Structure formats: structure tokens, C-alpha cells
Amino acid sequence: MNAPDSPVAAVGARARARFEEWAAQIGRALEPGERYAANYAGEATDFVRMNRGRIRQAGSVEQHALAIRLVRGARHAEHAVELTGMADDDRRAIAAAVAGLRALLPDIDDDPHLLLPDRVADTAHESGTGLPPSERVVDEILTAAHGLDLVGFYAAGPVWRAHANSDGQRNWHAATTFNLQWSLYDRGDKAVKSSYAGFAWDPAEWMRRMATARERLALVARPSRALVPGAYRAYLAPAALEEIVGLLGWGGFSGRALATRQSPLTRMQDGERLSAEVTIDEDMSAGVAPAFQSDGFTRPDRVALVRAGALAGSLVSPRTAREFSLVANGANGGESPESLAMAGGALAADRAIEALDTGLAIGNLWYTNYSDRPACRITGMTRFATFWVERGRIVAPVDPLRFDDTIYRMLGSNLEALTRETELLLSAESYGSRQLAGPRLPGALLRELRFTL
């Protein structure tokens, strides 16, 4: 929690008070037979871009957006407005939005899959201990990067999400986070990409991560090795595993996709299993994503998706619940994970390279996509610091490789171990606004991973 008199707490209190005023105004504007739902997204963020170890762009953004849905019977329409915090301007914008929606509703057909909450469930959550001033953090970053070609992006500050409806329900979520993505560049396509994100900036942890990046940069400077296509033992760092697990979020755990057998994990409905080491949940207790969604349904602390390698559940939105006679569990409209957590295993992360023995240590992947969606076959490229390891020691960086393999091999028959430690990988997405999402993942040691070129 933020201290009551902290700057973050003060700006958050103002944002919450404004949201309450906006919701009250919408409620007063309703006519008999009308209902409303309103969803608020706001932030107060510092952004800093760095290149060649220097600040290239810095700025701060405070923004507030309100999506208003007007409902009459089974007809509904939505209008999104950007609000300024200027009371008179905001009141006029909200009044115009409600009037426009009211005029539109008679021309809209009934929605047979509309499902709204039948009870009021208020929630309030705030996470983040408050962050040092961004100027101080950036000074620490640039001091540690002295003499290096560092390219990076730092974003920090509070992000707010809220819901209100005509039944009087109020949901509030505030998360104060930071996200630093940086690369140390050597030459050509040789660089080391790293990240550090969370709720509280720890200078000691930052220096530990930077020291690791420096060590890897020295290894990247060695002559690179070109490998022929084939199958190799591989260790996927959490950031590399994120690319694979993130792809599964595109319909893999969707209740609708599973019900219509369009999910890439459909074979798991027929008994296909991953390794017994794999347990995956949607874990809202992590405090990253809000514990409610845009229709006003609240989310359980945990939704089991995979248990000991077997499909155990799915993410079900209200519309999917109505259409397919399922039970809604607060999933978003896309039924994609927002706070996915994979349980760790028994392998100590600092022993992973030793356990790999001989093979590939993969720090990052990119360009991942399905090469055969029904078979859950995934392809992609190694990126940045991928190393050839012999007898538990890194010997050379490796030229980019393309892998092509199924999830049932990668996290199934070929999964040898997961690291005990897991890492929170907050989304760095900031197109339009910062996102409150991110998985917590271990590293994964594979007996083999297939490479095609």
C-alpha cells in the first residue's frame, strides 16, 4: 500500500474521486428502464527512452478514459471518451455520450448473449509500495551503464482501473509499477537483452541484473558459432518461455475456443497431456491485473488451467457463458490470460547451465507463431544472447536459429526440469496506455528442441 500522504496516493485519490463523480453523473442521467456500466482506465506515467547510455527522450503522461455502456432490455451500446479532469468539460462530454447512446439504442437489435451481473460485488485493491523518483532511478541506470552502449526504455507510475454500474457496484484497482527493458549492444545482431519490472525498485537487485548482463555481453563479444539444423538440448530462460506461453494465450485457454474446438490445445480435451511438472493458473492474487472485468463480473483469486500436465479449466467470459451454457469466471472478452502463473520445479536457476551440460542456452525468442495450430506446433527465432554450452560452461554465442516444435514435446515429453525460481514479467506494452498484465514463469530445461534452419 502507498503511504496516505505520498504523491502517488494523492494522485490516486484524486483519480478515484473523479471516477466516483463521473459514475454519479451517469446514474443521474438515466431514464426509466435504462441501466449503465462504466469502465475507467487511467495512469500517471513517467517515460524515459535511452540510447548509447544517454537519455534521448523523457516525459510524463497523465490520462483518463471512460467507456460508457447504456443498456435497455437486451439492447446496449458503448461510447468511449477521453476526459481531462476539467470538471465542466468532463460533464459535457459525459452528457453528450449518454445522449448519443440513448438515441442509438432504438436502432440496435437485441443481443441474445448479453449477460450482466445479478448481484453487487464491490472490490478495492491497491498494490505497490511507491517508487523512487524516476530521476533517481534513471541516474542509477546510466551510472551502471557507463562506458556501455545501452538502449533502454523505462516506464513507471500508478495505473488505475475501475468499474461502476447502475446497481451501485464499485470496483477499484490501482497498481504502481515500473518496467525497465534494456539491451547492451555489441555489434551486428549481437546484443544482450534484459528486463527488470515489479512493484518496488531494489537497487541491489538492479545491480545484480546489470552485472549478469555485463557478463553476458563479454560472452557475446566472442566469435559466434553457426549450428546446423537438428535437435539440441536447450534451456529456455523465463523471457524465452514467455514467448511460447504467451502464444498459448491466443485462444489456448479460451472457453469459447475450447467449446468450438478451435483452441490450439484442443488435443488436451481428448486426453493429450503435458509433463506432470506443468501446472498453470490464472492467478489474480498476484495483484497485477484487476480482479474484475468490463461487464462487472469479479474474478476468483485463481483459475486452474493446467494441473500436473492435464487440462483443468478455461477462461470463460460472460458472453461465452451465456452462449454455451458455461459458468463465467470473470474472463475478459478475448478470454486471454492477464496474470498467468506457471509453478516452478526443483531445478535451482543458478544451476540451469550446469544441468544443461551441452546444448543451447536461449535468453530470448521472437517472431513466434503457429506453424500448425491444431497440432500446437510453434515456430520462432532465437534472439540476442543465445549461447552454445559445453560441459556446463558457455563457450560461444550462436547465430540466429529457427525452431519448430510442438508444445506437447517442449512442455511435455521433452521437458526435463523447471527452475524453482519464477520471474514476474510485466507487460511492457504502452501503445495507447500501459497494460496491467504479465505472467510469472520459471525457466525450462528441455531434453531437445528441434531447429529447422
What does the block give as the cell for 324?
Answer: 454455451
Residue holding cell 495450430? 373
Nearest to 266 by CA among 159, 123, 370, 154: 370
Q: Residue 1 domain-assigned?
A: no
Radius of gyration (C-alpha) of the chain in whole angstroms: 24
Are residues 300 and 192 located together in one domain of the fold?
Answer: no
Are 173 and 228 within one domain?
A: no
Within a domain: 346: yes
Q: State how far the Cα of 219 lies from the Cα of 255, in Å rounded to an integer.
A: 45
Beta-bridge partners for 447 = none
Return the closest-CA partner of residue 195 out of 444, 433, 426.
426
Q: How many domains does the chain contain in total? A: 2
Query: 297 with 166, same domain?
Result: no
User: Final residue of a domain: which of 173, 202, 218?
Assistant: 218
Q: Is residue 119 part of a domain?
A: yes
Are 171 and 301 within one domain? Answer: no
Query: Which tens digit of pLDDT belongs to each residue from 356-414?
Result: 999 999 999 999 999 999 999 999 999 888 999 999 999 999 999 999 999 999 999 99
Q: Is residue 31 part of a domain?
A: yes
Statement to judge: residues 56 and 142 lie in one domain: yes
C-alpha cell at 294: 468490463
Does residue 126 sit within a domain? Answer: yes
Q: Give residues with Cβ within 8 angstroms of 164, minimum separation 6.
A: 19, 20, 23, 26, 37, 38, 40, 170, 171
Which of 200, 218, 236 terminates a domain? The answer is: 218
At residue 7, the pLDDT reads 74
Distance CA(450)–CA(407), nearest Å, equals 12
DSSP letters of 376-437? Answer: TEEEEEEEEEEEEEETTEEEEEB---EEEEEHHIIIIITEEEEBS--EE------SSS----
186 and 109 share one domain: yes
| Domain boundary residue, one of 184, 218, 252 | 218
Note whether 326 and 439 are same-domain residues.
yes
68-83 in b/e burial notation, b at 16+ Cβ within 10 A? Answer: bbbbbeebbbbbebeb
Parts of the chain with a pLDDT under 70: 1-6, 129
Q: Answer yes or no: is 93 within a domain.
A: yes
DSSP letter at 158 equals E
In this structure, the answer to whether residues 272 and 159 fall within a common structural domain is: no
Give me 384's grid cell: 540476442
The predicted structure's pLDDT at residue 3: 52
| Claim to verify: residue 57 and residue 190 sit in the same structural domain | yes
List residues bridging with 71 in a β-sheet: 35, 76
Residue 423 and residue 312 share a domain: yes
Determine the pLDDT at residue 291. 94
The CATH number for 114's domain is: 3.30.2290.10
The reply to whether 52 falls in a domain is yes
CA dihedral 219, 440, 152, 240 (to 10 degrees): 40
151 lies in the same domain as 108: yes
pTM for this one? 0.92
Nearest to 66 by CA among 42, 88, 39, 27: 39
Q: Which domain, by its residues, includes 80?
A: 7-218
**Cell numbers at residue 187, please?**
555489434
Question: Is residue 226 domain-shared with residue 77, that is, in the same domain?
Answer: no
The verdict on residue 441 lying in a domain is yes
Q: Is 235 left (phi over 0), alpha (psi -120 to 50) or beta?
A: beta
